[in-house]
């Protein structure tokens, strides 16, 4: 069995050694330009187009939960990777806990008004502030996949009303579920906080625009843990400037790294992080990928296979 590996920034030797230890019968090599040798599997993140060119692979494994880069490559270069080659993504491998931590920190900070207290501290103002009614501080999650469900489960302990919106019907204990485009505005109308955990697909591109933001209650909060392509940034800034949004926490952006001149850097009601809400944890990811390859080698179907039409 031959495995090719590529990541633009991760420690290649750690992965080559780790996968080799988990799959002792495999030859695992770092793909480099000009390598057109035989391979059974590819483990990748942001691969050059030529890496996967015209290869008959048993599977391609993305080193993350998102596969939008790979699908975009296939749309632009349909001859480079056959649609018959199975594509797999990581479903959790430690990312769910990281997303839970980020989401809970934001939700509790907004509910307890810590940013307001920070501004008061800078003004040397000693003034207790009233809290919103807990039963009116509804949290809505866009996306009910593995990560969306995990975040919703972690928020249940705080007693806030919870709701989710997804493409197809979902049933989650303790969560008011909405689905389909026709139900989106009804979902938004009751959300004091919206957390984006949708996959990146053509249908979700620019979904969070002026119309979307107007459907929220005045003074709502927005957290993006998914993809920057979902958001029309000019509309987001307008909503923040008008007070339609009280604040936003953003981990992902239309252009990354975020350009120095982008107004989001300096906005007083925006918190930024550099696409680090949930990073790939190598040991857990290698466990999952090695297990999936072993399943494929014995004729089984591992979790995480991507439906290329849906985009996730």
Percent of the chain residues past pLDDT 90, beyond the cut: 87
CA dihedral 310, 258, 281, 15 (to 10 degrees): 90
- Res 82: pLDDT: 79
- What is the reported pTM? 0.92
User: How would you label 150-161 residue by residue, b for 16+ Cβ within 10 Å and e otherwise?
Assistant: bbbbbbeeeebb
Percent of the chain residues past pLDDT 70, beyond the cut: 99
pLDDT band, very low/low/confident/very high, at 309 (cuts 50, 70, 90)? confident
Task: Point out the residues that are catalytic.
Answer: 227, 275
Asked whether the predicted pLDDT for residue 76 surpasses 90, the reply is no
Phi, psi (rounded to 5 degrees) for 266: -100, 0
Asked whether the predicted pLDDT for residue 79 surpasses 80, the reply is no
Q: Which helix (H) or strand (E) holds 2?
A: strand 2-6
Average pLDDT along the chain: 95
Q: Which residues pair with 41 in a beta bridge?
A: 3, 59
Contact between residue 250 and residue 269 where contact means Cβ atoms under 8 Å apart: no
| Average pLDDT over every residue of 139-147 | 96
- Res 174: pLDDT: 97
Half-sphere exposure of 253 (CA within 13 A, CB side): 23
User: What is the tens place of the pLDDT at every residue in 163-177?
Assistant: 999 999 999 999 999
- Res 84: pLDDT: 84
User: What is the tens place of the pLDDT at every residue in 233-275?
Assistant: 999 999 999 999 999 999 999 999 999 999 999 999 999 999 9
Residue in the structure block whose two tokens are 């270069």: 77
| Average pLDDT over every residue of 40-58 | 92
User: What is the tens place of the pLDDT at every residue in 204-221?
Assistant: 999 999 999 999 999 999
């Amino acid at each position: 069995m031959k495995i090719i590996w590529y990541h633009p920034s991760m420690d290649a030797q750690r992965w080559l050694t780790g996968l080799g230890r988990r799959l002792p019968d495999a030859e695992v090599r770092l793909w480099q330009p000009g390598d057109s040798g035989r391979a059974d599997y590819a483990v990748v993140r942001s691969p050059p187009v030529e890496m996967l060119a015209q290869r008959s692979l048993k599977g391609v494994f993305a080193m993350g939960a998102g596969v939008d880069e790979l699908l975009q490559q296939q749309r632009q270069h349909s001859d480079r990777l056959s649609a018959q080659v199975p594509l797999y993504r990581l479903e959790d491998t430690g990312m769910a806990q990281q997303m839970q931590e980020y989401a809970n920190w934001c939700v509790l900070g907004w509910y307890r008004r810590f940013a307001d207290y920070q501004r008061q501290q800078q003004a040397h103002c000693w003034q207790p502030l009233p809290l919103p009614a807990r039963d009116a501080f509804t949290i809505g999650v866009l996306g009910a996949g593995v990560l969306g469900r995990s975040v919703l489960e972690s928020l249940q302990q705080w007693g806030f009303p919870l709701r989710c919106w997804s493409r197809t019907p979902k049933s989650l204990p303790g969560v008011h579920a909405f689905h389909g485009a026709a139900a989106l505005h009804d979902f938004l109308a009751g959300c004091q906080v919206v957390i984006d955990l949708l996959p990146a697909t053509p249908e979700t591109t620019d979904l969070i625009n002026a119309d979307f933001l107007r459907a929220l209650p005045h003074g709502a909060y927005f957290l993006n843990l998914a993809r920057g392509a979902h958001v029309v940034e000019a509309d987001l800034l307008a909503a923040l400037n008008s007070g339609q949004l009280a604040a936003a926490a953003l981990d992902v952006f239309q252009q990354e790294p975020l350009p120095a001149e982008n107004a989001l850097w300096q906005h007083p009601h925006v918190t930024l992080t550099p696409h680090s809400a949930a990073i790939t944890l190598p040991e857990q990811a290698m466990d999952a990928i090695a297990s999936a390859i072993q399943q494929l080698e014995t004729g089984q179907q591992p979790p995480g296979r991507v439906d290329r039409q849906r985009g996730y």
